[in-house]
Amino acid sequence: MAAASFTAAKFLAPAAARSGGDRARPFPAPSASSMRPLRHRPARRLGSVLAVSSDVLKAAPAAAAYPAVTREEALELYEDMILGRNFEDMCAQMYYRGKMFGFVHLYNGQEAVSTGFIKQLNQPDCVVSTYRDHVHALSKGVPARAVMAELFGKATGCCRGQGGSMHMFSEPHNLLGGFAFIGEGIPVATGAAFAAKYRHEVLKQSSPDGLDVTLAFFGDGTCNNGQFFECLNMAQLWKLPIIFVVENNLWAIGMSHLRSTSDPEIWKKGPAFGMPGVHVDGMDVLKVREVAKEAIDRARRGEGPTLVECETYRFRGHSLADPDELRRPGKDYLSG
Ligand SMILES: Cc1ncc(C[n+]2csc(CCOP(=O)(O)OP(=O)(O)O)c2C)c(N)n1
Ligand SMILES: [Mg+2]
């Protein structure tokens, strides 16, 4: 499973400096092990992404230093990632056989982010996704049959076949949507987090664990949209129980993150608003899970939001209308 291996690590780090700033404290001590140690690198933006496999591999902690996970937990994570990958591969087959209509965006390669985060949630916690939403739905417990039926436009789908690929929704699972417009889900997630705080503080209706938490997933390209900044501000101002999870796969359709973003280190925007900003290897489910646990616990305790940048990579085209054949086998698109 690629998500659990470091073979894709060469895709991960943008060229820009990742030395960290004085306000860039991710979390108090324990999570430091979840953070990939990053060396100062000279910024190189317009060329392309630097391949940093050797650095990452050198910096990779020894197996013993990996976060503890029981056999049962590891199997649950593995099962969820395998489910996501196999489900998506089947989607591609069915799409090319003409069984699905419209746009279908696959998640291949990014599974560790969905699994690492969503598997730490409780049922009342909410997930807000994007158009790349099938695997988020599966991780949140929506049955694969209901997700696939939705993709086929069947009445047995989780939205009675009326939402389709980009609009997965399930009230019983607190999956508050896929959204086709980028950034559109972030205010919805912020509203869900506000509602959770209101239930807790005003209505005194929270779960025994504390506040219900909302995860807002979105891509690197979306971080240049206004809703992102507005919602970071409001979430921190009101100390909302929300985690902004950026799935930085380095591309917004065909636009490189490094060519479109003035400062490509997205996690730094958290401290700019007064919340922790964390950068994590999004190809490593155990590291993602450790960061997720800590951010979720903070939110549950009422300590407010966190911005987490997960560096990941999508192994297929932007959507199935962007056929993989456009990639030339053997060509390294990332190392310049
Ligand atoms: C408001 C809005 N503007 C433009 C688009 C067109 N669009 C679709 S996907 C996309 C790129 C998004 O990239 P990113 O946020 O990195 O997500 P990824 O596809 O990489 O998961 C854009 C600009 C859109 N869907 N919504
Ligand atoms: Mg992207």
- Closest atom of ligand 1 relative to the 105 alpha carbon: 19
Query: Mean pLDDT over residues 266-291, rounded?
Result: 97
Q: What is the pLDDT of residue 208?
A: 84
Greater confidence (95 vs 24) lies with 95
| Residue 31 confidence class, pLDDT cut points 50, 70, 90 | very low
Ligand 1 centroid – CA 130 distance (Å): 9
What's the token pair of residue 280? 């994590």
C-alpha angle 304/307/309, rounded to 5°?
A: 160
Shortest CA distance to 10 belongs to which of 55, 58, 51, 60?
51
Query: Mean pLDDT over residues 34-39, rounded?
Result: 36
Q: What is the pLDDT of residue 131?
A: 98
| Residue 24 confidence class, pLDDT cut points 50, 70, 90 | very low
Greater confidence (68 vs 300) lies with 300
Query: Mean pLDDT over residues 280-290, rounded?
Result: 96
Q: With a 6 A CB cut-off, is 115 part of the ligand 1 pocket? A: no
184 near 195, Cβ under 8 Å? Answer: no
- Closest atom of ligand 1 relative to the 184 alpha carbon: 1
Ligand closest in space to the Cα of 14: 2
Q: What is the pLDDT of residue 16?
A: 34
- Nearest residue (CA) to ligand 1, atom 25: 181
- Closest atom of ligand 1 relative to the 247 alpha carbon: 21
- Nearest residue (CA) to ligand 1, atom 11: 252
Q: What is the model's pTM?
A: 0.83
Question: How far apart are the C-alpha atoms of 228 and 245, rounded to whole Å?
Answer: 11
Q: What is the pLDDT of residue 22?
A: 33
Pocket test for ligand 1, best of 253, 261, 312, 318 (most atoms within 8 A of CB): 253
Q: What is the pLDDT of residue 207?
A: 81
11 pLDDT higher than 90: no
Q: What is the pLDDT of residues 43-96, one digit of tens each?
A: 333 333 222 233 333 444 555 566 789 999 999 999 999 999 999 999 999 999
Query: Mean pLDDT over residues 144-164, rounded?
Result: 97
Length of the chain: 336
The sign one gets for the Cα dihedral 19, 23, 24, 28 is positive
Whole-number average pLDDT of the chain:
83
| Residue 42 confidence class, pLDDT cut points 50, 70, 90 | very low
Q: What is the pLDDT of residue 19?
A: 33
107 near 30, Cβ under 8 Å? Answer: no
What's the token pair of residue 78? 């593995």
Q: What is the pLDDT of residue 302?
A: 97
CATH number of 2-37+48-326: 3.40.50.970
Q: With a 6 A CB cut-off, is 114 part of the ligand 1 pocket? A: no
1 pLDDT higher than 70: no
Query: Mean pLDDT over residues 26-54, rounded?
Result: 35
Q: What is the pLDDT of residues 80-137, one digit of tens each?
A: 999 999 999 999 999 999 999 899 999 999 999 999 999 999 999 999 999 999 999 9
| Residue 334 confidence class, pLDDT cut points 50, 70, 90 | low
253 pLDDT higher than 50: yes
Q: What is the pLDDT of residues 138-148, one digit of tens each?
A: 999 999 999 99
Shortest CA distance to 281 belongs to which of 66, 44, 46?
66
Percent of the chain scoring above 70 in pLDDT: 77
Greater confidence (62 vs 213) lies with 213
Sole residue written with tokens 């993709």: 151
21 pLDDT higher than 80: no
- Closest atom of ligand 1 relative to the 180 alpha carbon: 25
- Sorted by where each begins, the domain ranges of the chain are 2-37+48-326
Q: With a 6 A CB cut-off, is 185 part of the ligand 1 pocket? A: no
Determine the straight-line distance between the first and last CA of the chain, rounded to whole angstroms.
26
